[in-house]
Amino acid sequence: MAAEIQPRPQTRKPVLLSKIEGFQDVVNTAVIIPKEDGVISVSQDRTIRVWLKRDSGQYWPSVFHTMPGESSVQHRSSHQGGVTVVLFVLEMEWVLSTGQDKSFTWHCSENGQQLGTYQTAAWVSGLQFDVETRHAFVGDHSGQVTILKLEQDNCSLVTTFKGHTSNVTALCWDPVQRVLFSGSSDHSIIMWDIGGRKGTAFELQGHNDKVQGLCYAPHTRQLISCGSDGGIVIWNMDVTRQETPEWLDSDSCQKCEQPFFWNFKQMWDSKKIGLRQHHCRKCGQAVCGKCSSKRSTIPLMGFEFEVRVCDSCHGSITDEERAPTATFHDSKHSIIHMQYEPTRGWLLTSGTDKIIKASTCSHSIVSVLFDRD
């Protein structure tokens, strides 16, 4: 369940170092050029631009190309709807793709031959792949994540799991710790312990709007998430986290035993008006508003914002347990795509405001801007 909207703590202001003219439309995606001081961007106006840093310290589009409205190349389409995610797996020489037609396919990158396909429950918006085990992680608009075992020309369903109340918007896989992160329109992130084989799931609540992108920095064990509200959160994953409890069912408050408003028999017998049901985020008990009047952060449970807790749990939470495990930053634009380059520690974000920003995660959140205005 999404956390109640709260102001972000520890907000840091970005520091702008440079700004250039771009004259581009909304940027759908942007990637950092490996081993180069440059960026490739793709916009809704069908333009592809390569931005390289000049001696002046500014970035200019060294390559500019506009794709035609309709391709003149004959090809066989593997999707009947729009393509949503594409992954290239160099080790396997595979191209994985998903579409709005509720299909997941993989092709041979050498000859373009389709090797296999799988029909998903809803159209897919997140895709990750583990080379060692050949497992594909597929997140869709029903909020479900599906794990598939891929072979050269077929696949098998391993398992499915669902913890989000809305569509999955982003996936991120850590092959070392064997942990999968999923972001959603319900404002939450879930950390799935795939390697532990215990089905453990940890919630992370730190966004006030839908999560748009996830990246993982393995050398520092930090998860980086961005939201459509412009928020960038850097999570410390090198801590022992706790699972959030299941919400318990009850016809009366499990603290004061006052009946809830649907418990007509107890209301009649006790001659008391029924109360609204709430749940303590720490213990999961069903409680009334009077017995859960306090709020607290519980960072080790993923609650970086203050959430409802019962009075007894509030008194048991120590200052050390309230210590934040994440830092919050404002990118100053509505992010639709994010990429992290771990070698240099660069974070690249593009937004609906036609801006590309390159950042460093070790210091302030903005170091380079690409803008059309």
Side chain identity at residue 100, one-letter code: Q
Question: Which residue, among 105, 106, 98, has the nearest Cα to 124 in the 3D structure?
Answer: 98
Q: What pLDDT sits at residue 4? A: 47
CA distance 246 to 224: 27
Q: What pLDDT sits at residue 141? A: 92
Would the pLDDT of 271 be above 90? no
**Range among 184-193, 215-224, 360-369 rated most confident:** 184-193
| 373: confidence class by pLDDT, cuts 50, 70, 90 | very low
Phi, psi of 291 (to 5 degrees): -90, 0
Helix H or strand E encompassing 306 = strand 303-309
Would the pLDDT of 7 be above 70? no
User: In the predicted model, what is the mean pLDDT of residues 44-53?
Assistant: 74
pLDDT per residue as tens digits for the range 285-310: 999 999 999 999 999 999 999 999 99
User: In the predicted model, what is the mean pLDDT of residues 263-272?
Assistant: 76
- pTM, two decimal places: 0.79
What percent of the chain is predicted at pLDDT more than 70?
Answer: 80
Question: Of 10-19, 153-162, 211-220, which gets the smallest average pLDDT?
Answer: 10-19
The residue ranking higher by pLDDT, 270 or 205, is: 205
Q: What pLDDT sits at residue 361? A: 61
What's the chain's average pLDDT? 80
Q: What pLDDT sits at residue 168? A: 94
Question: Which residue, among 147, 206, 154, has the nearest Cα to 171 in the 3D structure?
Answer: 147
- Our measurement of the distance from residue 354's CA atom to the centroid of its chain's CA atoms, rounded to an integer in Å, reads 21
Phi, psi of 265 (to 5 degrees): -60, -50
Domains of the chain, first to last:
15-67+79-245+323-360 (2.130.10.10), 264-321 (3.30.40.10)
User: In the predicted model, what is the mean pLDDT of residues 137-158?
Assistant: 92
Q: What pLDDT sits at residue 366? A: 38
List, in order, residues 6 or more apart from 363 with CB less than 8 Å away.
Answer: none
Asked if 209 and 228 touch (Cβ cutoff 8 Å), the reply is yes
pLDDT per residue as tens digits for the range 68-125: 554 333 334 566 767 778 888 888 889 898 888 888 999 988 888 889 899 888 888 8
Number of C-beta neighbours around residue 156 at 10 A = 10
Q: What pLDDT sits at residue 342? A: 80
